Structure 1
Amino acid sequence: MRLSTVILPIHRWSKGQKVWQHAEELGFHAAYTYDHLTWRTFRDGPWFGAVPTLTAAAAATQRLRLGTLVTSPNFRHPVTLAKDLITLDDVSDGRVTLGIGAGGNGFDATTLRRSDEEPWTPRERADHFDEFVPLLDQLLREPSVTYEGRFYAANEARNIPGCVQRPRLPFAVAATGPRGMKLAAQYGQAWVTTGDPKLYEAGTPEQSVEAIRGQLTKLGTACESIGRDVGELDKILLTGFTPDRPLQSFDAFVDFAGTHFALGFTEIVIHSPIPDSDFAADEKVFERIATEGLAQLGH
């Protein structure tokens, strides 16, 4: 199992650089950030762009993998995103993982829409995602792409020299529904979940485990349907959205991580503490988890 962290892009770089470097010093496998225009309770505070932040982090670190959790069609076009990712993969010398999902319906999901436009429905988000992922895959693999689809177009979109990582940088596909699971099975090097959001407020940890077990079963079915071994995919759990409180104490994390490792997860992601927020946590507990947590599990 691997342990990673999320660093929200809320700090001016004079401070943010130290947070990313500290994550590397603590030994995290990867550090991710959200690719939003802003997010929920942080909407009235500082929030910087994901790709520039990750590019700066690439220059400020040496070993740490970097990525998004997650990028979505809400804010991105495959052609321009591919160019940004190839550049980021080059600057980082092949340390980038793209976390990608269909997106949600948060308030910033409509920032690029006209005032008379309705937010995308879940089906519309899935429709865009169905076209977005295969096109992005092609753009990152091939030097020149021409494509015309229902939502996206590319006219001799050139991406030379391509990714440092071959045949392209890895995709970690966030999905819980059948269409997203199919994309994860076909295009993903990893699958991402946050658990069942319906259980966050009123559910129990036991209910959450069963819901996640069901998601893993669906992922296995999706892989089987295309003849792929589900064991080829890493399974990533982004914490903070289940009824559990794994950062409440070191022992709480060890219990949580052990339970989810037994389910088949290969990577757990915890949020870097942010005081007075949904992600408040004791910094000392966070640091102990980073340095001792996996060893306690024998990993």
Structure 2
Amino acid sequence: MRDRDGLRPDDPVHERVRKRTVGARGLARSSTKVGRDLSSLTGRGLSFLSFVLGLALWEVLVDVLEIPRFLFPPPSQVFQIYFTGDIRWLDHTLVTLRSAVTGCAIGVAFGFLLAVLITVSEMLSRIVMPYVVALQVLPKVAIAPILYVMLGFTNTSRVILIVILTFFPIVINVSTGLSSVDRNLVYLLNSLGAGNVRVFYKVRLPNSLPYFFDGLRIAVSGALVGAIVAEFVSSNEGLGFLILNSQYTFNTTAAFGAFVILTILGLALYGGVVFLGRRLMPWYERV
């Protein structure tokens, strides 16, 4: 019996052709992987170079334009303030980070559960979603004082504000992912005897993962915003408190120092979400 090229399976020529074909495919896959790695490395290098050039330009412009340093401090002056010992940077950073992570975790869990419930029950979706949307469009700066009046100036109030900020993108994204599955695939599984629970775990849940991580990226950013807003309203610690206190003491260098730390925290949390998404979904290229 011969194949489509006219060669028998036991023919030595056939074996050499097969090995060359497999080798060519492996080489193509390796070349593609190397190309992606080089592209990623180049992109990171350009990002780092852009960051360094931005700092250098900032430093030069402050001197060239003779901008008062107490109004717009250069990067070198901001960097020095971390080592003066006048501000407990680590303590304030941990306070803000603890509130943000705690509120985000609760908001994500609550948002995911609510998304599952409104996907399963259309009636519940019609009842709950108007309140969810109404809560989202309210200005969070206006919600914070009300929470403090109702619950007092406690960490619980700060966490609840962060939960309000973080659960909405999870609800919207996850509910979209759970409901936007191929109906024909669901009908096929049902015809094969799969119940709703099995369809949920085998089809709906995997389909919702990309949507979940898209929402989580927004949520981690919102968590930091919520923590800062809560500390603006009433707090004697945290990076938000430092920024507000710097306004009263005209210490713009300390405010810029807090901005830098917040930027690093935001990038770290965002990068952590991207890294986790790539680990859990290697098949999803956009994560």
TM-score (norm 1): 0.21
Rg comparison, structure with higher value: 2
Q: Which structure would you say has the larger RCO, counting Cα contacts within 8 Å and 6 or more residues apart? A: 2
Query: Comparing both structures, which one devotes a greater share of its residues to helix?
Result: 2
TM-score with structure 2 length normalisation? 0.22
Richer in strand (by share): 1
